[in-house]
């Protein structure tokens, strides 16, 4: 299992009901209810992890707990799909999503595990134990990851021991005390954030920002400081940091993506978000994820052939298998360029048989392609399922409204449009369509 620099993984384990739990002692050796293991969490597809390691750790945790009530893998997916009403469930991309699903299944606890590379060779794993409502980190445990091959027998032994240690209250309490300062200033701030110590992270981040020379303010540190400002609600300071760092500070793809996410969450214009991607790509010409974002932008703005041209140039200089985002770009660009047969063959190969992650753009392109073929009921069903699973966007709502209009269901169409507007997906097209239907008495 290869681990890349600056990447992290969070293993999300939700909803453990423990008998006799207190804040100072976990008593995890006995479960009195349902526990849920969410598997590997890799929001930017940065790590080529094998799912079997996720299931392996789930087995180890289940065995160490002495309970068979721990859900993970396919059993967990089926249970959530019954509750949420869809089989098209996406993996959670952040802790907020995990907490939401924990509440859906009436879970009380959340466990996290963060994997880091610290320096050139050292790797650590920090396990955390959270209360779900209100969210609060109660305990943590940090262990060094063996430097041997990640697919070797050593990893299995390490994960087995880690699970047993974490379910041991005294080991967790001792481990929490061992988490301290790090020679990497970014990692030191991130560790405090992971432990829920936002105020301490803010004090440390601001002190380092004022005392460190510019050469020591790495991309990882700037990212940690940005996340700390956001967690502290200091949005003005966060925007000033982005403006300064994007001009001449150290950046990486994660910093650009964090900044873009902040801009969107604050309601800034699509042009400002787009500008971050283009500015980031100018400074990081080999950043795969930023290439994908810029290509997606070309498609969303109605230039799919330009996206195909960019993708061709990218693959010439970066040979190898396309990742999920690039595959989605290729599929959508072919759909919207009129290369229907090539797009259909790609969907069958990449998304059906291999079950790769489907980007929002790829989902929108698939709905468009089905509507183009006249399969409006299929568009209605799939779009509704995806919206229920959390894939809400103006494009998906618009696809659903187009299908409902074609099916002659104006009441359902105007209801869908009002829902989209209420949730903040209020494009001019959706607003005008709702107004037109309301003018007709719907």
Contact present, 125 and 142 (Cβ < 8 Å) = yes
428 CB burial (10 A radius; 0-12, 13-18, 19+)? exposed
Residue 63 to residue 17: CA distance in whole angstroms: 16
What are the residues whose beta carbons fall under 8 Å from the beta carbon of 96, sequence distance 6 or more? none
Whether pLDDT at 201 is above 50: yes
Contact present, 150 and 2 (Cβ < 8 Å) = yes
Residue-wise pLDDT for 111-170, tens only, equals 666 666 555 556 667 666 666 677 766 666 777 776 654 456 677 787 788 777 777 655
**pLDDT computed for residue 199 by the predictor:** 86
Least confident of 2-11, 177-186, 365-374: 2-11
Least confident of 132-136, 293-297, 436-440: 132-136
Whether pLDDT at 67 is above 70: no
Domain map of the chain by residue range? 1-179, 181-284, 374-442
Residue 226 to residue 232: CA distance in whole angstroms: 10
Number of C-beta neighbours around residue 134 at 10 A: 6
Question: What class is the 181-284 domain?
Answer: mainly alpha
Q: Percent helix, strand and coil across the chain, each rounded to 5?
A: 60, 10, 30
Number of C-beta neighbours around residue 155 at 10 A: 17
Q: How confident is the model at residue 172 (pLDDT cuts 50, 70, 90)?
A: very low
**pLDDT computed for residue 299 by the predictor:** 93
Interhelix angle 376-388/360-372, rounded to 10 degrees, is 160
Share of the chain above pLDDT 70, in %: 62
Place of tokens 């063959």: 345
Number of C-beta neighbours around residue 266 at 10 A: 12
Whether pLDDT at 177 is above 70: no
Residue-wise pLDDT for 382-392, tens only, equals 999 888 877 78
**pLDDT computed for residue 38 by the predictor:** 63
Task: Assign 67 to helix, strand or coil.
Answer: coil
**pLDDT computed for residue 92 by the predictor:** 62
Give, as one character, the DSSP assignment of residue 143.
E
**pLDDT computed for residue 164 by the predictor:** 78
Contact present, 353 and 321 (Cβ < 8 Å) = no
With CA atoms as reference, report the closest residue to 107 among 141, 73, 80: 80
Fold of 1-179: Rossmann fold (3.40.50)
**Mean of the per-residue pLDDT values of the chain:** 75
**Average of per-residue pLDDT across 343-370:** 76
Whether pLDDT at 195 is above 60: yes
Max mean pLDDT among 110-114, 297-301, 341-345 falls in: 297-301
DSSP letters for 24-47:
S---TTSBSS-EEEEEEE-TT--S
Whether pLDDT at 263 is above 80: yes
Residue 137 to residue 121: CA distance in whole angstroms: 28
What are the residues whose beta carbons fall under 8 Å from the beta carbon of 29, sequence distance 6 or more? 65, 66, 167, 168
């Amino acid at each position: 299992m290869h681990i890349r620099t600056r990447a992290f993984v969070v293993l999300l384990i939700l909803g453990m009901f423990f008998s006799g739990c207190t804040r100072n002692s976990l008593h995890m050796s006995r479960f009195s209810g349902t526990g849920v293991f969410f598997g590997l969490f890799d929001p930017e597809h940065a790590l080529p992890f094998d799912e079997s390691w996720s299931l392996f750790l789930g087995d180890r945790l289940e065995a160490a707990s002495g309970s068979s009530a721990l859900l993970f893998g396919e059993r967990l997916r089926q249970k959530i799909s019954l509750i949420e009403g869809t089989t098209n469930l996406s993996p959670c991309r952040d802790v907020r999503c995990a907490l939401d699903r924990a509440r859906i299944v009436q879970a009380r606890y959340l466990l996290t595990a963060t994997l880091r590379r610290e320096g050139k060779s050292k790797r650590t794993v920090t396990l955390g134990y959270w209360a779900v409502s209100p969210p609060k980190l109660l305990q943590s445990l940090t262990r060094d990851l063996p430097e041997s091959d990640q697919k070797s027998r050593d990893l299995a032994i390490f994960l087995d021991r880690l699970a047993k240690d974490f379910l041991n209250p005294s080991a967790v309490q001792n481990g929490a005390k061992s988490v301290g300062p790090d020679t990497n200033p970014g990692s030191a701030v991130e560790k405090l954030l992971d432990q829920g110590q936002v105020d301490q992270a803010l004090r440390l981040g601001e002190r380092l920002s004022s005392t460190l020379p510019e050469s020591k303010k790495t991309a990882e540190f700037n990212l940690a400081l940005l996340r700390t400002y956001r967690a502290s609600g200091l949005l003005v300071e966060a925007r000033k940091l982005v403006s300064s760092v994007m001009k001449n500070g150290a950046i990486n793809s994660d910093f650009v993506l964090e900044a873009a996410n902040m801009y969107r969450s604050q309601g800034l214009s699509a042009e400002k978000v787009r500008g971050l991607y283009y500015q980031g790509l100018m400074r990081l010409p080999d950043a795969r994820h930023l290439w994908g974002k810029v290509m997606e932008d070309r498609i969303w703005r109605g230039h799919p052939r330009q996206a195909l041209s960019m993708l061709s140039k990218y693959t010439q200089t970066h040979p190898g298998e396309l990742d999920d985002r690039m595959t989605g770009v290729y599929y959508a660009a072919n759909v919207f360029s009129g290369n229907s047969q090539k797009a259909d063959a790609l969907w069958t190969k990449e998304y059906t048989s291999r079950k790769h992650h489907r980007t929002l753009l790829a989902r929108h392109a698939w709905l468009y392609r089905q509507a183009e073929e006249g399969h409006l009921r299929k568009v209605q069903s799939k779009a509704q399922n995806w919206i229920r699973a959390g894939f809400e966007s103006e494009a998906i709502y618009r696809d659903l409204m187009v299908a409902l209009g074609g099916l002659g269901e104006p009441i359902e169409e105007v209801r869908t449009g009002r829902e989209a507007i209420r949730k903040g997906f209020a494009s001019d097209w959706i607003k005008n369509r709702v107004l037109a239907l309301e003018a007709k008495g719907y």
